[in-house]
Amino acid sequence: MLQFHKRYIILGCLALFMAAGCDSYLDVNDDPTRASTVSSDALLTPIEVSTADAHFDLGQYTSLFAQQLAAYTSGPQQFDRHIDARINTAWNNIYLRNLYNANILVRQATAEGSTHYVGIGKVLQALNLGLLTDTWGAVPFSQAFQGPAELTPPYDEQEQVYTTIQQLLDEAITALQSPTSLVKPGADDVIYGGNLALWIKAANALKARYTIHLLEREGVDAANAALGFVAKSFTSNTEDMQVVYNDRNLNPWNRGIAIGTTTGNFIVAPSQTLINLMNGNVYAGLTDPRLPLMADKGTSAGNYAGYRNGLGSGGNTNLTANTFYAKPAAPVMMVTYSEMKFIEAEARFVANGGTSTTVGSTEEAYQAYLAGIRAHMEKLGVPAADINAYLTNPLVGVGAANLTLELIMKEKLIALYLNPEAWVDVRRYDYSSEIYPGMELPAEHNPALNGQFIRRVFYPEAEAARNADEVARVTKGLAEKMWWDL
């Protein structure tokens, strides 16, 4: 919610350098000119910013899998075609920058009695750990970060990781509710500016997210539990967990994708699957007013068109600085109020006995669905008249008696544009074309998958070399389902 400034980035780089140095070199000599510790306020900002960057590191690939984006012919087509997919940069950033430094933050804040930093640190640990496990499956955590004492830590299975995530969030809430803290976060907290009530809401929002993932395993129990956490989470867009960039510290989608489109360096672009849900092709007579804010067709004639996944052609749109998500000063939205409303809609639908093939639910489920759409449109700056016209269109404003999971999840896919969480939903619903109309295997799809969609990515080559036995033990095929995905 707060913009960060250049001086924090400098502090962050120093913090990361010193933290890495302590563990990377077995130097027995002390250098009296170099600080041996980094203060909590100097650590917090780079962890938060790097966590937002990790959403880009993952999102540029998971958005291909969720068919929100497609790769150009010159772009990452092996990912788009589900071939030998590895996301090395995200793995390295999450471990070496985010979880490593969050571990330092939590340990030293615990030792000094700065309980509010402990709470924030554990929320960030939970979020980063969730990004990891939902991408790779089993990951090292419980015995990681021991330095030379354990250079090949065993991997925690995903079921254990999910238990750890919920435990971290419970501990975070307890710490954030503490009436005392030696050092209190303020401007160094570029997400909430030290507002502990909002951090508690963010923790509950994450608890709702990771609980709804268990819907296939736990059914109505997971739905009801998720509703309990939603009720304690965000109540408006102003409470979203996000990092806002500026014209000096550029949004990663701007610097990583949009700038390239101005020089002919095309990498990814909006997918045909997503654009067809919005341009009237799938829902005849329904044009989504968010289209120009999510996809830029410039001076191209005709309707908005996305690119065919795996083919890298057929579209006329790009992710440019003219779109909401790739402006230089755009926020990276990690967990949002609109996501919570869609979780509520899905959970109420299921708790009422709904399935992927049934029609109709409660008025509460329907109102949550509408609120999720409205929240996302307002976030993007859609004019009120256009919002109301969309919500009252008979293809959207269907009434509680005609509500379906297709409508809920279609709208959630749009609202989670570029967020790795979208791929979790697509996998939970098995890439179903009944839930996501138009979803199909990419062109020139990896023949080794025998017609199966990608469900996870391979571990980085460097990780396989460093921790060969563990990686060999936990590695599964690209099409093998996650623990939560039955």
Apex CA 39: angle with CA 115 and CA 148, to 5°? Answer: 95
Q: How confident is the model at residue 36 (pLDDT cuts 50, 70, 90)?
A: low
Instruction: Give me 477's structure tokens.
Output: 């095929």
Q: Which range (24-38, 377-391, 467-481) has the least confidence?
A: 24-38
SS3 call for 304: coil
Please, are residues 176 and 119 in contact by the beta-carbon 8 Å criterion? yes
- Whether residue 474 lies inside any domain: the answer is no
How far is Cα 103 from Cα 115, in angstroms, rounded to an integer? 14
CATH classification at residue 110: 1.25.40.390
Over residues 109-132, mean pLDDT: 98
Higher per-residue pLDDT: 473 or 18:
473
pLDDT in tens, 466-482: 999 999 999 999 999 99
The residue with tokens 């590191």 is: 57
| pLDDT band, residue 30 (cuts 50/70/90) | very low
For the cut 60, the answer to whether the pLDDT of residue 261 exceeds it is yes
Residue 464 lies in a domain: no
305, part of any domain: no
pTM for the predicted model, two decimal places: 0.93
Within a domain: residue 427?
Answer: yes
- pLDDT band with cut points at 50, 70 and 90 for residue 148: confident
CA–CA distances in Å: residue 23 to residues 18, 46, 155, 346: 9, 18, 20, 45
pLDDT per residue as tens digits for the range 47-78:
999 999 999 999 999 999 999 999 998 779 99
Provide the β-strand partners of residue 264.
Answer: none
Per-residue model confidence as pLDDT tens digits over 245-258 = 998 999 999 999 99
- State the Cα–Cα distance between residues 317 and 335, nearest whole angstrom: 26
- State the pLDDT at residue 271: 98
Which of these, 64, 71, 76, lies nearest to 311 by C-alpha position?
71
Query: How far is the CA of 398 from the CAs of 281, 366, 431, in angstroms?
Result: 19, 9, 24
Q: Is residue 275 part of a domain?
A: no
The H or E element that residue 69 is part of is strand 69-71
pLDDT digits (tens, 9 = 90+) for 277-336: 999 999 999 999 999 999 999 999 999 999 999 999 999 999 999 999 999 999 999 999
pLDDT tens for residues 180-217? Answer: 999 999 999 999 999 999 999 999 999 999 999 999 99
Q: Is the dihedral of CA 202, 432, 415, 128 positive or negative?
A: positive
What is the per-residue pLDDT across 412-435, written as a single tens digit (0 to 9) for each? 999 999 999 999 999 999 999 999
Span 225-240, average pLDDT: 98
In the chain, the N- to C-terminal Cα span, in Å, equals 37
How confident is the model at residue 461, as a pLDDT?
95
Is residue 118 a part of any domain in this protein? yes
Q: Which residue has the tokens 């041996």?
A: 36
122-139: average pLDDT: 98
Neighbouring residues of 392: CB distance < 8 A, sequence distance ≥ 6: none
Neighbours of 301 (CB within 10 A): 6
**pLDDT (0 to 100) of residue 357:** 96
CA distance 88 to 126: 20
Given CA atoms 88, 436, 215, 417 in this order, what sign does their dihedral have? Answer: positive
Is residue 399 situated within a structural domain?
Answer: yes
In the chain, the number of structural domains is: 1
Residue type, 362: T
- CA 437 to CA 273: how far, in whole Å? 8
Q: Is residue 255 part of a domain?
A: no
Contact 455, 481 (CB under 8 A): yes
Determine the pLDDT at residue 10.
34
Q: Is the pLDDT of residue 28 over 50?
A: no
241 bridge partner residues? 335
- Category of 388 on φ-ψ map: left (φ > 0), alpha (ψ -120 to 50) or beta: alpha
Whether the CB-CB separation of 8 and 193 falls below 8 Å is answered with no
Structural domain span for residue 149? 6-25+39-241+330-457
- Mean confidence (pLDDT) of the chain: 92
Alpha-carbon span 403 to 387, nearest angstrom = 19
